[in-house]
Amino acid sequence: MKTVSHWINGSQTTDKATNVGEIFNPATGKISGTVNFADKATVERAVHAASAAFDSWRHSSLTKRTQVLFAFRELVNKNKKKIAELITAEHGKVLSDAQGEVTRGLEVVEFACGIPHLLKGGFSEEVSTGVDVYSIRQPLGPVAIISPFNFPAMVPMWFFPIAIACGNTVIVKPSEKDPSAIMYIANLLKEAGLPDGVFNVVHGDKVAVDALLTHPGIKSISFVGSTAIAKYVYETGTKAGKRVQALGGAKNHMIVLPDADLELAADAAINAGFGSAGERCMAISAIIAVEPIADQLIEKIKVRALKIKTGDGTTNADMGPLVTKVHRDKVTSYINAGEKDGAKVVVDGRNVDVAGDGFWLGPTLFDHVKPEMSIYLEEIFGPVLSVIRVKTYDQALNLVNDHQYGNGTAIFTNDGGAARRFQNEVEVGMVGINVPIPVPMAYFSFGGWKNSLFGDSHAHGTEGVHFFTRGKVVTSRWLDPSHGGINLGFPQNT
Ligand code: NAD
């Protein structure tokens, strides 16, 4: 049985915790270890370490910071399989998917390696006689990152490479459900030459989160998780005077127009709906079939869904278990509710047959889902696809725009005009055109609209660099005796 503890000032803490959480292997249903939960005093120690390391790190050269990130990139690449194994053992997703998550996280590290270019300011010479103006961006200080269970490596990597590259120091509070991957990553950062105290990890629950949200030493909060907590984090963090970006839940729609390639659309629906057992914030959850193609499309999705092999993520299964028993039961209760509300169960994941006590649930496909049903209104976060039939493009668009969430969406069509109209009119942050999971590359920014994001900044890309820095504009004039004299008027440029 392993014990996972905090990472403060370059090493794992050894003191005994008063409060611990259990870590499960979702494929066996068995406890594999415990994780120490931070109390206020532990968070205080982490903030102290991050604060002490800040001055020296912010003054380290851009070359030095880039070199550390380059070395880290190499180490993560070399140890990708090991990190993936840690993820699968605690999250349950299949190994290839876990490796994919690490690869997507690495793209942000690669982006952050370009920090000397990204931090370049502007310069205007001679704005007034002998006066120059230039802009610079400076780090904030110690920053906190609070992440969800579904991407234990990638989501922290959306933020910390850029935060560190910009000269900040970091405290990560990962999900208590799968805390091991980030500890491995902490070791790799140290091996890459990152000074102690620049990167810290505190584990835990609301106690640790609240301590970070209200600590005056923490300058910003990057949160990813469910909408209720995102809203709470945004309100509490901003009230405490912090910069906050809080990414919340999702209900991603895929619109299939009558002219779409239905084979491609069915493949996409399966991959985006059931990959990672639907536990992705960009998973497709609602398919809007614009008639007359619904019957054909559903048949194609059904045939594919029935072939999906659910099982242990370390084997050749296509889809792993759900993360916990509680979550599996919650998703099952949504399926029960959908059936009770009158939706038609076309493929029933409740019947899945996998040996052992893992948190199993097979792919589920609903037809004739109506907009007022809970399976449509709420985020399920499991392997459940709901098909809604509509008659027109406008009805489909209105459904997406009326929904409380606006994280990702996709349209499947061969009509360029319709696709262009959709990308213009849809009220969602990330849009795919014949692409089911339009997760932006690291040099663009990731984030949703409406209840999928609280705050003004999306993750990574230019917005990430801006989030982790403050702008400063310097107006300078070097002494020249010809410019002397007293003038109490408001400065004007002549
Ligand atoms: P969660 O909200 O339960 O937990 C997220 C983090 O908040 C964890 O670190 C957790 O320990 C902490 N937390 C939980 N309850 C808290 C409380 N009462 N007070 C303070 N902190 C608390 O989310 P989860 O179940 O780990 O992750 C799944 C959710 O994350 C889904 O809703 C999914 O859509 C969302 N998500 C969103 C994105 C995005 O980019 N928008 C990406 C990944 C996941």
Q: Do 252-433 and 2-248+452-474 have the same topology in CATH?
A: no
pLDDT at position 242 over 90: yes
Q: Whose CA is nearest to atom 6 of ligand 1?
A: 148
150 lines ligand 1 (CB under 6 A): yes
| For the chain, percent of residues with pLDDT exceeding 70 | 99
User: Could you tell me the residue ranges of all domains in the chain?
Assistant: 2-248+452-474, 252-433
Distance in angstroms (rounded) separating the CA atoms of residues 50 and 6: 13
DSSP secondary structure string for all residues of 271-284: HHHHGGGG-STT-E
205 lines ligand 1 (CB under 6 A): yes
208 lines ligand 1 (CB under 6 A): no
Residue closest to 371 by CA, chosen among 407, 331, 403: 403
Distance in angstroms (rounded) separating the CA atoms of residues 354 and 322: 13
Dihedrals φ, ψ of 268, to 5°? Answer: -65, -40
pLDDT at position 221 over 80: yes
Q: Which residues contact 23 (CB under 8 A, 6 or more apart)?
A: 2, 4, 31, 32, 33, 34, 35, 90, 177, 178, 179, 180
At 434, list the tokens. 């014949």
Would you state the pLDDT for residue 320?
Answer: 98
Q: Cβ atoms within 10 A of the Cβ of 207, count?
A: 14
Q: Hey, what CATH topology would domain 252-433 get?
A: Aldehyde Dehydrogenase; Chain A, domain 2 (3.40.309)
pLDDT in tens, 244-297: 999 999 999 999 999 999 999 999 999 999 999 999 999 999 999 999 999 999
Segment 235-241 shows an average pLDDT of: 98
281 is catalytic: yes
Would you state the pLDDT for residue 483?
Answer: 65
Would you state the pLDDT for residue 486?
Answer: 83
Would you state the pLDDT for residue 398?
Answer: 98
pLDDT in tens, 97-116: 999 999 999 999 999 999 99
Segment 299-321 shows an average pLDDT of: 98
Question: Which band of pLDDT confidence, cut at 50, 70 and 90, is reported for residue 125?
Answer: very high
381 lines ligand 1 (CB under 6 A): yes
Catalytic residue among 98, 229, 281, 418: 281
pLDDT at position 199 over 90: yes
CATH class entry, domain 2-248+452-474: alpha beta
